Amino acid sequence: MADPQGDQAGKAAPFRFAPTFKIDLVFSVAYVVMFIHLWGRLNHTVLVGWIAASFGFALALCYAGKVYIIESLNRRGGDARHYVVSSGLVTDGLYAYSRNPTYFLTLVQCVLWTAMLVVLQMFAPLEPLPFIASILAPALFFIVMDRVIDREDAALSAAHPEAFEAYSKSVGRWFGRKRGGRSESKG
């Protein structure tokens, strides 16, 4: 007779999307919907095409950067789908400049999407609601994610109390090194 617990022990945990991925996806879809709506009303010129392509390239770099950061964290023992899995706190590389580089890149994406929509709006009749929504979206993203970061900070602090305290004193939550603080690299 097979051991049911033994069978379960060999199975990998089912894949799931991180809550932060879901938030990112909601904002990305909202921006794509606003872009498609605006694109249909634009006077399509070469200039409009170049503007859209330039912003699109910058946005693609942000998305690729997030994939790179998440994969790098996963290789080092973390798991982007679970808040604390790694045995050590990652404080080097991009994490030496931002405690949350993927969220920072997503905020940059929101700002890029908004900038693109505002610039492209100059080539179409103004529709106030989508225009205002695109401008408010980065602030809304920041507010939502700042609350999520509180929960992640608490989990990291519980898992790595001394290391996280020193790290949070030297590296900003969103971006930037703090004066007087030093972050030690810990694989």
**2-50: per-residue pLDDT in tens?**
444 444 555 666 666 777 888 899 999 999 999 999 999 998 999 999 9
| pLDDT confidence of residue 11 | 65
Q: Give 187's pLDDT tier (boundaries 50, 70, 90).
A: very low
Q: Which residue has the higher pLDDT, 126 or 50?
A: 50
| pLDDT confidence of residue 74 | 74
Instruction: Give one DSSP letter per residue of 54-105, joined into a string.
Output: HHHHHHHHHHHHHHHHHHHHHHTT--TTSS---SS---SGGGGT-S-HHHHH
| pLDDT confidence of residue 10 | 56
Position 153 pLDDT exceeds 80: yes
Position 57 pLDDT exceeds 90: yes
Position 173 pLDDT exceeds 80: yes
Q: Tens digit of pLDDT for each residue in 59-111?
A: 999 999 988 888 887 777 665 555 445 667 888 888 889 888 988 999 999 99
Nearest CA to 111 out of 148, 146, 140, 68 is that of: 140
| pLDDT confidence of residue 9 | 54
Position 1 pLDDT exceeds 70: no
The span from the CA of 77 to the CA of 69, in Å, is 13
| pLDDT confidence of residue 72 | 80
Nearest CA to 117 out of 46, 59, 62 is that of: 59
Q: Give 185's pLDDT tier (boundaries 50, 70, 90).
A: very low
State mean pLDDT over 107-121.
Answer: 95
| pLDDT confidence of residue 6 | 46
